[in-house]
Structure 1
Amino acid sequence: NFCINLEEGAEPSIPDGDAESTASLCECGSDAPPGIRDLAAESMFEYGSRVGTWRVLRAFKSRDAPATLFACAQTLERHPELALALQAGVVEGRYDVCCHGLRWDEHSLMDEQTERSAIAAAYDSLSKTIGVPYGWYCRTAPSVHTRRLLLEHGGFMYDSDAYNDELPYYVDVACEVSSSTRDEQQQRSAAIAPPDRPAPSAANPAERPRNPLRISWRARMHALYALIGSVLESVGVRTPPIAPLQLRRQLVIPYTLCTNDSKFAPGRAFSTSADFYEFCRDAIDALMAEADEGGARRMLSIGLHPRLIGHPARIADSPTQPRQLRSSRTAIRDLHACVQAE
């Protein structure tokens, strides 16, 4: 499954009130001291929105290839012409929308209330610009609260904040959910059948199923709080009520930073488009060989960033181009396990 990361215009920058203008996943690092704008980095991000994104979208449209949009809400707010073009693709079923945050911020550094507000604002924004986001993916890493906050919001079918598998799976999360949110979440969850997983194998312990009822520390704390409260009430001391918890099931569709054009960033693995193509081709060949030998079919994500892959020298011989798609498109469709928007 191709995942197009739309981050340009939502990145941290001094004009937006941030401490610095990030140069992450650009052609070079930033030498600008704190508080000084890095106009080179800002310009490299702008290349993605002005040129790279459109080149990538043309490559996909010309081959009728589906993709998941990892979209930052602010990116689409600032580029209405791009939002309009993507909206058409969403309606036609060529793209499904996965929210990549309100901005390209690090959720792992947010406090709980800030993150809750950012999730709600991002969902509302994308719903207006390109369509309802059925999935969620943080910048690199979530916080310890993210998955619970997504469930408490109630608008997301899945998240991709994991790199630990090649098949989707479910986790149970203790969260505070209102009755209306529970009803909405149950309706959405009913539309998704649990994925088939291979039988546990002694030769491959990684395939052994996880404990589906693992309880989070938050659930344990609520249970402890309730126990202490009952003891105190028995001696006449009343404790303030706490919101009831429910164990909710969340679908996780793992992502990967392995078959990802982020390796074009300075000092990383890829130098040429052929490097990227051969790397992805080898991954597809290995997965198809496993399937031919009777193994389970797996999911493969290929991550793309327009400010990187959108340059002519990189897209010329990449997995997004016609020659490669003719050989790998069937495999990618077979391995495609991303939830599609209805």
Structure 2
Amino acid sequence: MTFQTPDRRDLRGYFGAEPASCWPEGARLAVSFVVNVEEGAEFSIGDGDARNEPTYEIREEVVGAPDLCMETHFAYGTRQGYARIARAFEGVGVRATFSTCGRAAERAPWLLRDAVAHGHEVSCHGWLWERHANMARAEEEAVIARTHDAITRACGVAPVGWHTRSSASVNTRALLKARGDFLYDSDAYDDDIPRIEGTHVILPYAFDTNDMRFSPGGGFVQARDFSEYVIGAFERLYAEGAGVARMMSVGLHLRLIGRPGRIAGLEQVLAHMTSRGGVWIAPRREIAAHWAQTQGQRA
């Protein structure tokens, strides 16, 4: 006898019944650029954290003492990287989502105010740049509230989106829904199509079309490595979008793509995408709101 228990994981998704494209003005593809703002929110003994962040341009964790090398690698993002990325967006009229850690917002409110002034969205990326997988429910609830409040104070606009570094906890989405002020989260990597649970939208994110692959061992070295891969993914999704709904996420980091040897990769991607018709490039809040409006009744 074979026993089958309910599966907590949805491995089927839209299989065999993908929704038709519904993007504004008949666009075949929705594209979201997400700029992760983590500078000042990375683990740092110098800031009173229990350890230092080991992931940056090199893999060499300092244990038991402040890591001034690591701290200045992160600081490059706010001191130089942001300006290059912002200019690249402004040059082609693209608006993005700046996914921001709460402690980073407290330390660089001027950066977020500038992003908002240029029409970009600022969303939540945790208080610190950390995983939530092992957080107790009450602790995580407090972290979400603290992050939301910090970003609201810093930029004067309440955030409506959330994305956890790497793994969320089993409680994250339920806590976001319970608050009632989050429209969407991006804690999913399993699709090229958004979905909705009640009124809460889940926007898929991606680690492959992401400048994190410039990190050691990630596979990207030259600017063209990034642009060729991202453009290749774009072209495939654009073609598929002729018949079904497709969304693409491009993940960026101030301290990574903002380097002088890499920024051309982003510029090439932007030039390619904006030269094509039938592409809707928008902040995630607008993509989520549109999906909720047009697809919510099917949930």
TM-score bracket, shorter-length normalisation: 0.7 to 0.9
Determine helix, strand or coil for the equivalent of 1:2: strand
User: Does the 8 Å CA contact 1:9/1:46 hold for their aligned counterparts?
Assistant: yes
Question: Taking structure 2 as the reference length, what is the TM-score of the superposition?
Answer: 0.80
| C-alpha distance in 2 between matches for 1:118 and 1:308 | 26
Q: Equivalent residue for 1:261?
A: 211
The equivalent residue for 1:75 is 104
The answer to whether 1:168 aligns with 2:199 is: no
Query: Residue 300 of structure 1 contacts residue 335 of structure 1 at CA under 8 Å; is this kept in 2?
Result: no
> Partners of 1:143 and 1:113 in 2: how far apart?
12
Instruction: Tell me how far apart the structure 1 counterparts of residues 277 and 149 of structure 2 sit (CA, whole Å).
Output: 35
Q: Distance in 2 between matches of 1:332 and 1:118?
A: 39
Structure 1 position 31, deviation (Å): 3.7
Structure with more relative contact order (C-alpha pairs < 8 Å, separation 6 or more): 2
Find the counterpart in structure 2 of residue 339 from structure 1: 285
Change (3 A) 1:283 1:31: same
CA distance in 2, matches of 1:251, 1:297: 15
Q: Does 1:95 align with 2:120?
A: yes
Number of aligned positions between the proteins = 255
Matched AA of 1:27: E
Alignment of 1:289-300 (within 5 A): 289-292=239-242, 295-300=243-248
Identity fraction in percent: 39
Q: What is the CA–CA distance in structure 2 between the aligned matches of 1:31 and 1:69, rounded to whole Å?
A: 27
Give the gaps of 5 or more residues in structure 2: 1-31, 290-299
Q: CA deviation at 1:77?
A: 1.1
Determine the structure 2 residue equivalent to 1:16: 47
Determine if the alignment matches structure 1 residue 49 to structure 2 residue 78: yes
SS of residue matched to 1:108? coil
Looking at structure 1, the residues matched to 108 and 283 of structure 2 have their Cα atoms a distance apart, in angstroms, of 29
* 1:101–1:137 CA contact under 8 A, matched in 2: yes
How far did 1:75 drift?
Answer: 1.0
Aligned ranges for residues 239-278 of structure 1 at < 5 Å? Answer: 250-278=200-228
SS at match of 2:246: coil
User: In the superposition, relative to structure 1, how do residues 142 and 278 fare at CA in structure 2: closer, same or farther (>3 Å)?
Assistant: same
Name the larger-Rg structure: 1
1:7 alignment partner in structure 2: 38
2:68 to 39, 47, 50: 39
Contact 1:168 1:337 in 2 (8 A): no
- 1:128 equivalent to 2:73? Answer no
**Against the structure 1 CA distance between its residues 331 and 274, is the aligned structure 2 distance closer, same or farther, given a 3 Å change threshold?**
farther
3-state SS of the aligned residue for 1:282? helix
**Higher fraction of helix:** 1
Moved over 4 A (4+): none
> What corresponds to 2:256 in structure 1?
308
Residue in structure 2 matched with residue 175 of structure 1 by the alignment: none
CA distance in 1, matches of 2:283, 2:48: 38
Shift of 1:97: 2.4
Task: Give the whole-Å Cα distance in 2 for the aligned partners of 1:163 and 1:87.
Answer: 27
Cα distance change of structure 1 residues 331 and 159 upon mapping to structure 2, 3 Å threshold: farther
Is structure 2 residue 181 aligned with structure 1 residue 151? Answer: no
Deviation string for 1:188-246 (max 9, x for gaps)? x4xxxxxxxxxxxxxxxxxxxxxxxxxxxxxxxxxxxxxxxxxxxxxxxxxxxxxxxxx
> What amino acid is aligned across from residue 170 of structure 2 in structure 1?
V
Higher mean alpha-carbon deviation, 102-111 vs 302-311, is at 102-111
User: 1:331–1:156: structure 2 CA closer, same or farther, 3 Å change rule?
Assistant: farther
2:28 is aligned to: none
DSSP-derived class of the 1:307 partner: coil
